[in-house]
Amino acid sequence: MTTDSTKNNDTSIHEYLNVKEFAAALRLSVTSCYRLVQQRLIPFHRLRGGLRFHQKDVDAYFKACRVESVTRKDYECKKE
């Protein structure tokens, strides 16, 4: 049964990933995920000893790790 307060809530419990799901989504080891948590590089929730990651935070982390490509023109300008 769904209540009106659940419908109006912006965040669904289904939008959260556990550590194994987070690792699979980014193709990382579980150990690497715990390292990101330890270094506080990604937001997380601690629930009864387990960790949960919001899908939006995972997407934002992935986008933040993007490295732009270098064009030939950019490379030639730096060379001079």
What is the CATH number that goes with domain 10-66?
1.10.1660
**Which residues sit opposite 64 in a β-bridge?**
none
* Encoded tokens for 44: 């997380």
Boundaries of every domain in the chain: 10-66
CA–CA dist 28, 74 (Å, integer): 32
Q: 29 φ, ψ to 5°?
A: -80, 160
Instruction: State the pTM of this model.
Output: 0.70
Each residue's pLDDT expressed in tens, for the chain with a length of 80 residues: 444 444 545 567 779 999 999 999 999 999 999 999 999 999 999 999 899 999 999 999 999 999 988 887 766 766 55
pLDDT at 25 (0 to 100): 94
Q: What is the pLDDT of residue 14?
A: 79
pLDDT of residue 63: 95
pLDDT score at 17: 96
